[in-house]
Chain A
Amino acid sequence: MVESGQKPRLLRASFVGAGLTCSLLAFSAAWAQTPAPAEGQPPAAEAPAAADATPAATDAPAAADAGAAAATAAEGQTHGQRAAAEAAAALAAGEDDEPVILEAPAPNTRRVYINDSAHFGSLTQQFVIDTDAGRVIAITDSGFLPNPVLSDDGSVYAQVSTTYSRISRGEREDYVEVFDPVTFNPVADITLPVEAHRFLVGTYPWMAAVTPGNSTLLYYQFSPAPAVGVVDLEGKAFSRMLEVPDCYHIFPTAPDNFFMHCRDGSLARVQFDAASDAEPQITHSAVFHPEDEYLVNHPAYSQKTGRLAWPTYEGKIYQFDLSSGEPQALNTIDGLTAEERADNWRPGGWQLVAYHRPSNQIYMLVDQRAEWTHKTPSRHVVVINAETGERIARHELGHDIDSVAVSQDDDPLLYGLSTGARTLYIYDAESGEELRSVNQLGHGPTVISLSDMN
């Protein structure tokens, strides 16, 4: 459990005082981006990060002038430039520097968590980003291939993680760590027993989930046999493993009910009693896809509505409504036209599909690619009416995008994460216009997580 005095995982920064100008600039160079690319100019993230530190901001004698300029911050000024100007103004006004530990703003629909699994690195990070501002507001540390888990109300931010006593060897310890989403102090640290160790795999968001009501966290175990671990978040304790059939992923619909996708092509419904050791009740749906149709590892699931959208390698999208506790198959739609498929258009990337609940629209990363290149990034996203399958738009994203997500408000932002560029690009979801970006997100960020707080 967490002990008092433990090093909190949050940004420590002081923005006031000339003595901190250097650290301030380093900070701004690392995280701040221009709010929007200037007309005819490449996006800020394409330029070297150091370009954010302008000569005016680094020139101490000019600090007072910069402070004056801050009052009328020009459009296009970086966060770093604004912060430098504010610091200069404070210095000029004779204000003392009072370093403090900052708190992040309250979670909202525009907050995203970027998981950097660091190309299977032993130590990893999650970047917490205010996408309205295009700023990193916190970072949490984690171990090997952690699974970030969020609740839809934004109150639970947890990781199922793994560390070793000697970095990448020695005694293995799996645990669930829950963070306060404002201070980012860990509020729970729950060790998972050896027999309950989790599945170490490239991060699939739905390999772990919190149940509605936030009472329970569920995570998947692959070996030695398929199982789902139950963690009591309220009691801050590991509960037990549920033996499940040969099925994968976890889509909770109630505190005691979740669905999985099985090797035989069916969905399994798993009902369990969190308070007892009773065997879970397991039922299967009909097989819904043939054996030669391959469903991607990153389906989109709206826990709020139980809507599951699951693309195949060729862009067909199977859909279910799981909200009633029974898997209700919805219309299967084609994310690509016959002409596009004939022209080698296929979905591809990591987290390649997103679902926007308020508008009932699906966003899917696509590009022209050879078969079996389904994990390479895409440069386009198609927007589809989930009800009718009608194509609403195809946006060219301007970058190699591996993962996509969309904020769950009525005027959504579209997020495109580039693992190669280590940058989150933030677009207007309706127009596809790039608004801003945040770069230097670790070594190989792959997963975008957000809460449906709308």
Chain B
Amino acid sequence: MTFATKTRTLLTALALTALGTQMALADKISILTEAPAPAAEAPAEAVIVNIAKMKYEPAEVTIKPGQTVTWINTEAMPHNVAFKAGVVDDAKMDGAMMKKEQSYSITFNEAGSYDYHCTPHPFMKAKVIVE
């Protein structure tokens, strides 16, 4: 095997690995933007979950595949949306922290029940049901 072939093979493997990871995540969910967005820019069609007084409200939402849920933090305490390993991917997924009046949106592509929590506040728990 020539050096060039070796390099190409390696690059292809790396690319496939990266793609595989992306696809595994993308299969179940799609994240609109990695960074939080201003609350005012939440997608019009999104199902809204507000965060206030250390709680997700409502704590359970039911949507259809392809629908988007947008979380809006309404208080100064930063919060996020995080999934344990095995929920949306083999690895855990910690969403970006939202400050006050920031939002974070996830499109759920597959039917299922998705438990989530806030990373620094593990007692904040809630669920998205996709059916």
Q: Could you tell me if B123 and A224 are in contact, using CB atoms closer than 8 angstroms?
A: no
With both beta carbons as reference points, the residue of chain B lying nearest to A221 in the complex is identified as B122
A-contact 0/1 string along B57-88, CB 8 Å cutoff: 00000000000000000000000001011000
B-contact 0/1 string along A224-267, CB 8 Å cutoff: 11100000000000000000001000000000000000010000
Q: Could you tell me if B119 and A223 are in contact, using CB atoms closer than 8 angstroms?
A: yes
Is the CB of A313 closer than 8 A to any CB of chain B?
Answer: no
Q: Write out the residue numbers on chain B whose beta carbons fall within 8 Å of the beta carbon of A226.
A: 122-123
Is the CB of B92 closer than 8 A to any CB of chain A?
Answer: yes
Q: Could you tell me if B117 and A225 are in contact, using CB atoms closer than 8 angstroms?
A: yes
Interface residues of A in 133-164 (CB under 8 A from B): none
With both beta carbons as reference points, the residue of chain B lying nearest to A222 in the complex is identified as B122
B-contact 0/1 string along A188-232, CB 8 Å cutoff: 000000010000000000000000000000000011111000000
Which residue of A222, A224, A226, A246 has the most chain B CB atoms within 10 A of its CB atom? A224
Known interface pairs A224-B92, A224-B117, A225-B117; A263-B123 also in contact (CB < 8 Å)? yes
Which residue of A222, A223, A226 has the most chain B CB atoms within 10 A of its CB atom? A223
Bin the interface of chain B by size: 10 to 19
Q: Write out the residue numbers on chain A whose beta carbons fall within 8 Å of the beta carbon of B84.
A: 224-225
Known interface pairs A195-B85, A224-B82, A225-B84; A246-B119 also in contact (CB < 8 Å)? no
Q: How many A-B residue pairs have CB under 8 A?
A: 20
Q: Write out the residue numbers on chain B whose beta carbons fall within 8 Å of the beta carbon of A222.
A: 122
With both beta carbons as reference points, the residue of chain B lying nearest to A262 in the complex is identified as B123
A439 to B122, CA, bound (A): 40
Q: Write out the residue numbers on chain B whose beta carbons fall within 8 Å of the beta carbon of A195.
A: 85
Nearest CB of chain B from residue A1's CB, rounded to whole Å:
27
Nearest CB of chain A from residue B17's CB, rounded to whole Å:
19
A225 to B126, CA, bound (A): 12
Nearest CB of chain B from residue A11's CB, rounded to whole Å:
41
Interface residues of A in 279-309 (CB under 8 A from B): none
Q: Write out the residue numbers on chain A whose beta carbons fall within 8 Å of the beta carbon of B122.
A: 222-226, 246
With both beta carbons as reference points, the residue of chain B lying nearest to A264 in the complex is identified as B123
Nearest CB of chain B from residue A229's CB, rounded to whole Å:
15
Nearest CB of chain A from residue B91's CB, rounded to whole Å:
10
Q: Write out the residue numbers on chain A whose beta carbons fall within 8 Å of the beta carbon of B85.
A: 195
A224 to B86, CA, bound (A): 12
A254 to B92, CA, bound (A): 34
Nearest CB of chain A from residue B97's CB, rounded to whole Å:
14
Q: Could you tell me if A246 and B123 are in contact, using CB atoms closer than 8 angstroms?
A: yes
A225 to B92, CA, bound (A): 12
A246 to B125, CA, bound (A): 10
With both beta carbons as reference points, the residue of chain A lying nearest to B116 in the complex is identified as A224
Nearest CB of chain A from residue B34's CB, rounded to whole Å:
20
With both beta carbons as reference points, the residue of chain A lying nearest to B94 in the complex is identified as A224
A-contact 0/1 string along B108-131, CB 8 Å cutoff: 000000000101101101000000
With both beta carbons as reference points, the residue of chain B lying nearest to A245 in the complex is identified as B123
Q: Write out the residue numbers on chain B whose beta carbons fall within 8 Å of the beta carbon of A224.
A: 82, 84, 92, 117, 119, 122
Nearest CB of chain B from residue A427's CB, rounded to whole Å:
40
Q: Write out the residue numbers on chain B whose beta carbons fall within 8 Å of the beta carbon of A246.
A: 122-123
A246 to B120, CA, bound (A): 13
With both beta carbons as reference points, the residue of chain A lying nearest to B87 in the complex is identified as A224
Q: Write out the residue numbers on chain A whose beta carbons fall within 8 Å of the beta carbon of B92.
A: 224
With both beta carbons as reference points, the residue of chain B lying nearest to A194 in the complex is identified as B85
A195 to B91, CA, bound (A): 11
A408 to B84, CA, bound (A): 44
With both beta carbons as reference points, the residue of chain A lying nearest to B84 in the complex is identified as A224
With both beta carbons as reference points, the residue of chain B lying nearest to A223 in the complex is identified as B122
With both beta carbons as reference points, the residue of chain B lying nearest to A263 in the complex is identified as B123
Q: Write out the residue numbers on chain A whose beta carbons fall within 8 Å of the beta carbon of B123.
A: 226, 246, 263
Q: Write out the residue numbers on chain B whose beta carbons fall within 8 Å of the beta carbon of A225.
A: 84, 117, 122, 125
A226 to B123, CA, bound (A): 8
Q: Write out the residue numbers on chain A whose beta carbons fall within 8 Å of the beta carbon of B125.
A: 225
A263 to B85, CA, bound (A): 25
Nearest CB of chain A from residue B105's CB, rounded to whole Å:
21
Q: Write out the residue numbers on chain A whose beta carbons fall within 8 Å of the beta carbon of B82.
A: 224
With both beta carbons as reference points, the residue of chain A lying nearest to B124 in the complex is identified as A246
A246 to B119, CA, bound (A): 14
Nearest CB of chain B from residue A220's CB, rounded to whole Å:
12
A223 to B124, CA, bound (A): 12
Nearest CB of chain A from residue B81's CB, rounded to whole Å:
12
Q: Write out the residue numbers on chain B whose beta carbons fall within 8 Å of the beta carbon of A223.
A: 119-120, 122
A263 to B125, CA, bound (A): 14
Which 8 residue pairs spanning A and B have beta carbons closest together? A246-B123, A224-B84, A225-B122, A223-B122, A263-B123, A224-B122, A226-B122, A224-B117
20 contacts between A and B (CB under 8 A): A195-B85, A222-B122, A223-B119, A223-B120, A223-B122, A224-B82, A224-B84, A224-B92, A224-B117, A224-B119, A224-B122, A225-B84, A225-B117, A225-B122, A225-B125, A226-B122, A226-B123, A246-B122, A246-B123, A263-B123
B interface residues, Cβ below 8 angstroms from A: 82, 84-85, 92, 117, 119-120, 122-123, 125
Given A223-B120, A224-B117, A225-B122, list of 16 further CB < 8 A pairs? A195-B85, A222-B122, A223-B119, A223-B122, A224-B82, A224-B84, A224-B92, A224-B119, A224-B122, A225-B84, A225-B117, A225-B125, A226-B122, A226-B123, A246-B122, A246-B123
A interface residues, Cβ below 8 angstroms from B: 195, 222-226, 246, 263
